[in-house]
Amino acid sequence: MKRSSLTPLHGVAAMLVTAILAACASAPTESPQAPSVAFYPSLPNPPRIQHLATIASERDITAPASGFAQFVLGDDPKVQRLKQPYGVAMSEGKIYVADSRASGIAIFDLAQKRFKLVTGSGNGRMKRPINITIDDDGTKYVTDTGHNQVLIYDREDRFVSAYGTQGQFKPVDTAIRGDRLYVVDIQHHQVQVLDKRSGKLLFTFGKAGSGVGELYHPTNIAIGPEGDVYVVETSNFRVQRFTADGKHMRVYGEVGGELGTFSRPKGIALDRTGRLYVGDSAFENVQIFDNSGKLLLFFGQPGDKAEGLNLPAGVTIDYDNVEFFRRYADPRFNVEYLILVASQFGPNKVDVFGFGKMRGMEYPPDDKPAPRATATLTR
């Protein structure tokens, strides 16, 4: 993406909750997995990221039909496609996508090459799932803005319970640290911290505003390798970092139309070195910052090509399932971990990128995690 294509958002007042969560529908289009030649930065520079694959329907994880069969039979209307994804997670060879228009969690089993849509039942039937977080034991926490609850499902995707009483919160994302479940409440502009096993409220932090430690339309959350909590504020155009107990530590970013600033930030993930990956649905890219807030790289751009992003929302990083995508990488490119990005609009629904290095090229030393911050970042 060229810098000229980044457009600032005019006015915080124009940012409504419905605009943050809603996106336009598009006609479903097949986007089969295929090797990609998209590198970031582009060759002949030493690349760090390669676009590997796109997943938009169940056909993308099954054996593709021959060209002749597709010509004779056409598109199969029974093929299940992602409609409007927001959050994405990966665990044990499966990609889980919170599809708000399908009212369920789409599960792509890469090992078994199977697809299913989990919608829940009874009190656990989903209405508008936005995000999904998977604990180490396979327990799944789904934020549902139709129920205004966090719905909990077990390892076998069976409904267990729901957290959230009437009027308590409008949850859009969660993160887990130990026995704590951090719930982003977009309605009350705060983070509620629950006991993950009982749902009991432990404490909250944040309040409506744009000052230090205040939040305005927080949407996404991530836990860093040091245990700190990173919260994206879509209407404050920034990321804030807090301790695990909710004490403010620093601010990343500001509103603007240039790389290194934000227009409509949403998804966030951190790698093991503490680098921040922040998706911006207005810029339609993902920007990578070191832990001091320095812009390192960006990837993705608008469009309907293989690597195109369109209203990107959820961003997640996965170290454990690289082998399922290594065959899509350039033979010279060593993939260290995966970056998954969910787009709400356009033909590409979940794009998979690989972070790594190209054999035979020289790279500068990797960025090291910054010391724990004690003051707000000033620009």
Distance CA 128, CA 120 (A): 12
pLDDT digits (tens, 9 = 90+) for 346-356: 888 999 999 99
Rg from Cα positions in the chain: 20
In this prediction, residue 63 carries a pLDDT of: 54
SS3 sequence of 202-222: EEEECCECCCCCCECCEEEEE
Confidence of residue 306 (pLDDT cuts 50, 70, 90): low
Using DSSP, state whether 302 is helix, strand or coil: coil
- Give me 109's structure tokens: 């089993």
Confidence of residue 31 (pLDDT cuts 50, 70, 90): very low
User: Distances in Å between the alpha carbon of 153 and those of 36, 121, 134, 141, 191?
Assistant: 35, 11, 10, 7, 22
* pTM for the structure as a whole: 0.85
Specify whether the CB–CB gap between 105 and 134 falls below 8 A: no
The answer on pLDDT for 374 being more than 50 is no
In this prediction, residue 37 carries a pLDDT of: 74
Residues counted in the chain: 379
If one compares 357 and 30, the residue with the highest pLDDT of the two is 357
Q: Which residue has the tokens 């995707």?
A: 157
Q: Work out the average pLDDT over 232-253.
A: 97
pLDDT digits (tens, 9 = 90+) for 249-290: 999 999 999 999 999 999 999 999 999 999 999 999 999 999
At the fourth CATH level, the homologous superfamily of domain 3-358 is TolB, C-terminal domain (2.120.10.30)
Distance CA 318, CA 338 (A): 5
> Which residues sit opposite 164 in a β-bridge?
none
Q: What whole-number percentage of the chain has pLDDT above 70?
A: 82
Specify whether the CB–CB gap between 354 and 95 falls below 8 A: no
In this prediction, residue 34 carries a pLDDT of: 45
Output b/e per residue, 50-87; b: 16+ Cβ within 10 A: bbbbbbbbbbbbeeeeeeeeeeeeeeeeeeebbbbbbb
In this prediction, residue 78 carries a pLDDT of: 76
Mean pLDDT of the chain: 86
Q: Work out the average pLDDT over 91-99.
A: 97
Domain ranges for the chain, please list them: 3-358
User: Distances in Å between the alpha carbon of 256 and those of 3, 10, 265?
Assistant: 11, 10, 11
- Give me 337's structure tokens: 């971990």
